[in-house]
Every structure is written in C-alpha cells, then in structure tokens.
Structure 1
Amino acid sequence: MALANFLGVFLSMELIASGHRFGANGLSMNYYVFNCPLAEPILRNTVTSALQSDPTLAAALVRMHFHDCWIQGCDGSILLESTKDNKAEKDSPGNLSLRGFKLIDDVKEQLENQCPGVVSCADIVAMAAREAVAWSGGPVYDIPTGRKDGRRSKIEDTFNLPFPTFNASELIRVFGQRGFSAQEMVALSGAHTLGVARCSSFKNRLSNPIDPTMDSDFSRTLSKTCSGGDNAEQPFDITRNNFDGFYFQALQRKAGVLFSDQTLYGNPKTKAVVNNYALNQAMFFLDFQQAMVKMSLLDVKEGSKGEVRADCRKIN
C-alpha cells in the first residue's frame, strides 16, 4: 500500500515530465500556493470531517467527479441548478441519485471567506474526489489545479453518460471516444469498489430471463434486495466504504452488481485486466490514479472560457 502511494506521487510527477504539459491548458501543480495557500488544507479538513461523519460520501464524491467531467469536461457544470429557462445536468434521471452537493457548498463558502473569487467549484469537485479516494484507503495522488467553472449545464448533454446496461464493447467504444483505452476504462470502473447501486439500476437482470452471467446465489441476493423497492441499495462489493480490489474479485465470482460491471469479465479485451487487478491491488491502484489524473483533465476550461463562481449552484 505504501509503495503504491509513493509510486502514485511519482507517477503524477512523471505525467508532468512526459507530455502532459498542464500549463498548456491553464492548469499547474500547486496552482493555489500563492493566491490561496490554505485552499488545500481547508478542503482536506472539511472533506475529512464530512467523511468521518458519513463514510458513504466517499463514493458519492468520486461519482460526482466522474459525472462532472464526462459531460462538458471538468467544469463544475454538475453543480448548477436548473432555472425556469433551462433544465440542468443534475436533474437528469442518471444524476438524481448524486450526493455531496452540500459538502461542496461548505468547502466553497470557507474558501470564499478565505480568498474570494479564487478557487473554482470545478477544482473543489476534483480535489474532493481525490481526498475521498485517499481517505477510504485508496491510492494517494496529486492533480493539477486551475480549472475554471463552465456556464453551460443542460439535461440533454447527459444522454452521453455510460449506461449500466452497456456491454463491454459499448463501454470500450464510449470511453474510447473520450480518449481512454480499454484498460483505463476497467481501472476507472474499479471506482465501484466504493458505494452501492440501487435496484432500479439492475432489476432488469432478474427477469425475462435472469441474466446468465450472474452466479445463481448472487441473483437471489439481488432479488432479495429488490424486494425492498427500486431505491433499495446493494453494495458493489463486501467493503462498500473501503477502496480496494474486492470489486474485481466479485466479478470473478460472477457477483458484479450492474450488467456493466459483470460484462467486464465476459469480454477477452477486459477479462485479463480484471484478473490482473483482482490478483494485484497495487497494479490497480497505479492504473486507477493515472486514469483519474487523465480524467480530471478532460476538456478543462481556462481564461475567458470559464469563470470562478461565487456560488457553485449558479453562474455569476
């Protein structure tokens, strides 16, 4: 674990030295060191306190970061509220179960008191996800900062989110469109080592006919969960609040909760990666942190293309 964390920091440095020139898109490591030197400690302390009170927020923060970056890039657009003239991303069916918005507001309020108009909401989302991964026992890594907040948030854009009904080939295709390899897609899917899925996301696997990729005992477990209704929750693996490799071991046992999880073990292009991660947690950690840094750089806003919101829920 310690070796993986050390290598993660080294890997972040390597990304800087080998072509990922963050300055080209307005980002840099330690972006706030002079204009808001307490930004990182304030965020870390606030997020840590929230996670100690509610460990399930770790999964929520990582998921929020993904849903933000996937649509219009990492620009905080997932935080914007709908207006009378516009339905925002957060009101999409795929985003209604997102959580953690109050925590982002709390961090933002403290940072605005400390250094008004400096730290973007997009950076807060990205850094909060990083802290959540580390706090829950996952890899420690660093990300460049300096993202600006976007001004567009439209519900129709969210139709590009990957669906839990996608098979491995579809996942490889949609992640490939965003610049990720099949291996990076599997690594990012490993974020499902945290959190739960609701019955509404997997109940289609339980009838007409029962999904044959599931272990029969596990299908009964899911059926029992769904007896509690569409909002009943099923953990992705046996340690829902710990970041580890158990998610991949579950796939080997045919106990993936979502179809999009289990399908990774049924495709030759992804099965070998699943087996490697199930056997070698350090390898998963290294690949995950590299993929997360890459994801955090998706279509970031810079300069006049964005702003630093005073309130994360509305544009300035």
Structure 2
Amino acid sequence: MAIFHKHISLLLLQLVLVALVFNKANGSGLKLGFYRKTCPRVEAIVNRATANYIYRAPSLAASLLRLHFHDCFVRGCDGSVLLNSTSNNIAEKDAPPNLSLRGFQVIDAVKAAVEAACPGVVSCTDILALVARDATQLIKGPYWPVPLGRRDGRISIATESRALPSPFANITTLRANFASKGLNVKDLVVLSGAHTIGVAHCSTIETRLYNFTGQGDTDPSLDPKYVPQLKSICFPTDKTTLLGMDPGSSKSFDQDYYKVVLKKRGLFQSDSALLSDKKTSLYVKLYSQSHGFTFFKDFQDSMVKMGKIGVLTGKAGEIRRTCAFVN
C-alpha cells in the first residue's frame, strides 16, 4: 500500500511539474487586471508617460514596438533586452541585431513614474508590453488587451540574440523561427505588418541593391523599376542614411505595407520572402485588400499571443527596481 501511495505521489508531482512548464510556455499565469489591488492606476500612469514621448516624437512608436518584439523572441518576454552589459557579460542590447534599438529612455521614464506610485510592484517586462501597445495606439494603430503578471528575468546574453528573425532570412527560416516560439504562419505575416511604420538603415539593403550573389547584381525579387529610386538614396557602404519601411506611409499604422510587398517593393529580403510561399502570399493579398479592419483585428490577436512567449510568472524571476540592472 505504501508503494502504491508513493507511485501516486510521484505521478502527482510529475503532473504538477508538467503543468508549471505548460503554464510558462503559454502565458496562462497572466491575466487582465493583475495589478487591480496592488497598483490599480498602472495602465493610466503608463499611458500618460508614454504619450509624453510619442506626442513629441511619433517615430518612437515603431522603436518601442520593435523593442517588445526583440525582447519576446529571446528568452521569452522577460525584459532581458533592457539589461545593461556588465564587466563580465555582454548583454542582448549590445548584440549586433540590437545596436539600432531605440526607446530605452522611454521605458526608464515610464518605470520611474510607476515606481513613484507603486514601488517594487510592476515588472519592467509588463511595462514594456504596455508601452508597445500604447505607443501603437497613440499613432492611430490598433489597441489590444495586455494581460499582465510577467516577471523580469535576471539573464541577458548577447549571443542568444541569434534567435531573432533576420531581415535577410528566407521563408523557410522565418517559418521555423516563428514556429519555435509557438507562432504560426499567419502570425508571421501579421507581425511583419509592423513594418508599416518605422525606418531602416541603407546598410540592411546594400547587398540587395549592389551585390546580391557576389556578382555586382541586384536581388531579382525587387521590382526592377524601384531599384534606381533606392540606389539614388542608398549608396554603397552607406551606414547612416535612413529610409521609410513603408514609403509614403511610414508614419501611419495601416495595411499599406502589404500593398508595398505585393508590388515587390518590400525593403528587406524577409519582406519579399512572404511572397515565396503559398500560405504567406495569400495572407499578404488578404491584408492588402482588407481596408485595415482585418489586419488590425489579426494584429491585436498576434500581439497578445506574442506577449505570452516564455513568460516568467508567480515567483520566478524578480521585479526589477531599475530596468537596466538586476536587483
């Protein structure tokens, strides 16, 4: 009988451990109104502090959305991208794919405002998720509910930023990359739509324009009529010039990005790659014709889904006092 009870106890322990792992993976430890009792005004505080920046510099919205994305794709949504490097560790923010990230000062300012009202209660990771949502809405983009309860990680390693989707990736790599985070083909196309706002450096398309296969040629997936226009803006070895991700509409959150991709004028190879797969190309066509409603609705859903990747909840991690440093 004792052996029977021992087996039952072991089985129950295994089931509990499996449940904990599953909860971490799908974000079921998060909930709307998580801070209702401990910091009831947190969303109003975050929105006001974010607006102070976005009204002065609307272009920061794209940067803050990208910051949230880069956080969630490495170690999950745990605020690891916000940590500074130390004398014995190079953090994610100093990895090559993250050197162009902006908006850290916004997160720090919002965190300070929240700390003044509710010290030691709200995680930097939750603040980042809220700021990304609010910044997007403030430039007339979609609004999505942000379930809260994320906790901050204590580890940030530059080399792990290889997990980020590359602007040079083909569709096979992109699909695998998103699938590894629990995101499907639809999420891939929808979240790529964030390229409707923001800018890119000429250096990210230099190879496409001037030396695609090493023979001084141009990427054939680019509209040949568009190439001279790009070359007039981006010269070889140009590391400083910026150009809009969605020409003529890079400050407006809309579905025009998909029209640009259909015309074979997407800036990145990863944008053009969306047309090289039957499923992804169908979604591109759908969103290009949807008048915004379908794209906005699906973007909301995919952002909620992305915000749950690998979250730390319960007693895991910590609540950082300052976002750039572990406690």
CA distance in 2, matches of 1:305, 1:140: 29
Per-residue CA distance 1:213-233 (angstroms, 9 max, x = gap): 111232122222223822211
Q: Find the counterpart in structure 1 of residue 224 from structure 2.
A: 216
Q: 1:203 aligns with which of 201, 206, 213?
A: 206
Q: 1:230 aligns with which of 220, 224, 239?
A: 239
Q: Find the counterpart in structure 1 of residue 265 from structure 2.
A: 255
Q: Find the counterpart in structure 2 of residue 148 from structure 1.
A: 151
Per-residue CA distance 1:164-206 (angstroms, 9 max, x = gap): 1111121111111111111110001000101011111111101
Q: TM-score scaled to structure 1, two decimals?
A: 0.91
Per-residue CA distance 1:58-87 (angstroms, 9 max, x = gap): 000100000000000111110000000100
Per-residue CA distance 1:244-269 (angstroms, 9 max, x = gap): 00100001111101111111123222
Q: TM-score scaled to structure 2, two decimals?
A: 0.88
| Change over 3 Å in CA distance of 1:22–1:268 after alignment to 2 | closer
Residue 128 of structure 2 corresponds to residue 160 of structure 1 = no
Shift of 1:284: 1.0
What SS does structure 1 have at the residue aligned with 2:243? strand
| Change over 3 Å in CA distance of 1:24–1:291 after alignment to 2 | closer
What SS does structure 2 have at the residue aligned with 1:260? helix
CA distance in 1, matches of 2:265, 2:27: 43
Asked if 1 retains the 8 angstrom alpha-carbon contact of 2:141 and 2:253, the reply is yes
What SS does structure 1 have at the residue aligned with 2:55? helix
Structure 1 unaligned segments of length 5 or more: list them: 1-19
Asked if 1 retains the 8 angstrom alpha-carbon contact of 2:125 and 2:150, the reply is yes
Q: Give the CA RMSD over aligned residues.
A: 1.7
Q: 1:246 aligns with which of 256, 266, 271?
A: 256
Moved more, 134-143 or 68-77: 134-143
Asked if 1 retains the 8 angstrom alpha-carbon contact of 2:320 and 2:326, the reply is yes
CA distance in 2, matches of 1:133, 1:308: 25
CA distance in 2, matches of 1:195, 1:220: 22
Per-residue CA distance 1:280-301 (angstroms, 9 max, x = gap): 0211111111110000000111
2:239 counterpart letter in structure 1: D
Q: 2:322 aligns with which of 308, 311, 316?
A: 311
Q: 2:43 aligns with which of 40, 44, 48?
A: 40
Q: 1:86 aligns with which of 86, 89, 103?
A: 89
Q: For this pair of structures, how many residues does the alignment match?
A: 297
CA distance in 2, matches of 1:65, 1:305: 20
| Change over 3 Å in CA distance of 1:235–1:72 after alignment to 2 | same
| Change over 3 Å in CA distance of 1:205–1:289 after alignment to 2 | same
Runs of 4+ aligned structure 1 residues displaced above 2 Å come to: 20-26
Residue 64 of structure 2 corresponds to residue 53 of structure 1 = no
Shift of 1:104: 0.5
Q: Find the counterpart in structure 2 of residue 288 from structure 1.
A: 299
1:63-74 maps to which residues of 2 (within 5 A)?
Answer: 63-74=66-77
Asked if 1 retains the 8 angstrom alpha-carbon contact of 2:24 and 2:310, the reply is no
CA distance in 2, matches of 1:23, 1:176: 13
Shift of 1:23: 10
Q: Find the counterpart in structure 2 of residue 113 from structure 1.
A: 116
Asked if 1 retains the 8 angstrom alpha-carbon contact of 2:198 and 2:251, the reply is yes
What SS does structure 1 have at the residue aligned with 2:106? helix
Asked if 1 retains the 8 angstrom alpha-carbon contact of 2:191 and 2:303, the reply is yes
Moved more, 130-139 or 70-79: 130-139
Asked if 1 retains the 8 angstrom alpha-carbon contact of 2:71 and 2:81, the reply is yes
CA distance in 1, matches of 2:170, 2:143: 30
2:193 counterpart letter in structure 1: G
Structure 2 unaligned segments of length 5 or more: list them: 1-22, 212-216
CA distance in 2, matches of 1:133, 1:147: 20
1:44 counterpart letter in structure 2: N
| Change over 3 Å in CA distance of 1:286–1:24 after alignment to 2 | closer
If you compute each CA radius of gyration, which structure gives the higher value, 1 or 2?
Answer: 2
Q: 1:135 aligns with which of 101, 115, 138?
A: 138
What SS does structure 2 have at the residue aligned with 1:149? coil
